[in-house]
Amino acid sequence: MAELLLYHYALSPFAEIVRVALGIKRLAWRSVEAPMIMPKPDLLALTGGYRRIPVLQVGADVYCDTACILEELEARHREPALLPQGLRGLALALQHWAGLGLAWNVGRFIVGTAPEAFPMEFHADRAAMWAVPLDLNRLRRSAPRYRDRLREQLRWLADMLRERPFLLGAGPTLADAAIYGHCWFLRQAHARTAALLDPQPAVLAWMDRIAAIGHGDARPLASGDALAIAAAASPAGGQGVDGENGLGLRAGASIAVTPDDYGRDAVIGILAGLDDRRISLRREHPATGEVVVHFPRLGYAVRAA
């Protein structure tokens, strides 16, 4: 079976979600360090323009977005399950909330409370990715608003953990990984942001249980070597194109896929798969040969190109 190659950087909360999932599943994987800010030439060669982290590569198949990556890990390695029977819908709903409401509040609180924790190049890069002016004073002024939101959300988590060790029961699920990544970011970014967790000892104890799971068996791999693996492999391809997709798209059409929130750089290629859960496109690059790049439907726009 082809190796799992994860493009990530240490302080990414979304990458931490995937690292924890790899730990829950006790998987071996290759760690491909990606830059925290642009330029990211090897990553863009692989994805066709998608710059966000994490990205999972399996041979010549490329999975973008945390949700798509976790879905693929669950499909390839079903046990231990991230989505146990009877909990799938609830776990996926909590993952969706974590990636939107919780992630937004955590990120804005951190950069407003402790902007010095990141270099100015980081702030400039993220302002460009969000297509907003770089204004650290505005972020500082807004931090109390996000602090108050997070206090309430952390109380929700504490209530969920009142009579169980993990969010949905006796064992960790996708919900634990998805929410932990953003709580972990609060703890890692700065002492002032970590202090927000102190009034919730149940949340801190849960975080310690998740941290003890670890990240599986990770071994480093240079990004150039990862691209060579893609070039030597053939993609498994798409999942077929639903003829009733509502977009009027057919297999073989030229399409563009774009995140619908931030980092809206389009990835352009040939439609290889489209259903209600995933978009897949086929593209080529001199460094990788032919690859198929996969995105989740939720959170991404697809159009003819």
- Considering the domain architecture, whether residues 20 and 137 belong to the same structural domain is answered as no
Residue 276's CB: how many other CB atoms inside 10 A? Answer: 10
- Considering the domain architecture, whether residues 51 and 111 belong to the same structural domain is answered as no
- Considering the domain architecture, whether residues 102 and 206 belong to the same structural domain is answered as yes
> E strands within 38-118?
55-58, 61-64
Q: Which of 294, 272, 110, 295 is nearest to 196 (CA)?
A: 110
- Considering the domain architecture, whether residues 108 and 201 belong to the same structural domain is answered as yes
Structural domain count of the chain: 2
Tokens of 83: 């989505």
Our CA dihedral for 217, 46, 62, 119, rounded to 10 degrees, sits at 60
Find the CATH number of the domain harbouring 136. 1.20.1050.10
Determine which helix (DSSP H) or strand (DSSP E) holds 198, and give its type and residue range. none
Residue 266: predicted pLDDT: 96
Last residue in a domain, options 171, 198, 213: 213
Find the CATH number of the domain harbouring 56. 3.40.30.110
Q: Are 212 and 184 in contact (CB under 8 A)?
A: no
- Considering the domain architecture, whether residues 98 and 209 belong to the same structural domain is answered as yes
- Considering the domain architecture, whether residues 206 and 96 belong to the same structural domain is answered as yes
Is the Cα torsion angle 40, 217, 16, 79 positive or negative in sign?
positive
- Considering the domain architecture, whether residues 208 and 224 belong to the same structural domain is answered as no
- State how far the Cα of 78 lies from the Cα of 72, in Å rounded to an integer: 10
- Considering the domain architecture, whether residues 71 and 100 belong to the same structural domain is answered as no
Last residue in a domain, options 173, 193, 213: 213
Determine which helix (DSSP H) or strand (DSSP E) holds 205, and give its type and residue range. helix 201-213
Residue 1: predicted pLDDT: 72
Last residue in a domain, options 158, 192, 213: 213
Residue-level pLDDT, tens digit, the chain, 305 residues: 789 999 999 999 999 999 999 999 999 999 999 999 999 999 999 999 999 999 999 999 999 999 999 999 999 999 999 999 999 999 999 999 999 999 999 999 999 999 999 999 999 999 999 999 999 999 999 999 999 999 999 999 999 999 999 999 999 999 999 999 999 999 999 999 999 999 999 999 999 999 999 999 999 999 999 999 999 999 996 678 988 788 889 999 999 999 999 889 999 999 999 999 999 999 999 999 999 999 999 999 999 99
Q: Are 150 and 191 in contact (CB under 8 A)?
A: no
Q: Are 62 and 257 in contact (CB under 8 A)?
A: no
* Residue 112 belongs to domain spanning: 88-213
Q: For residue 170, which amino acid is it?
A: A
Single pTM value for the model: 0.97
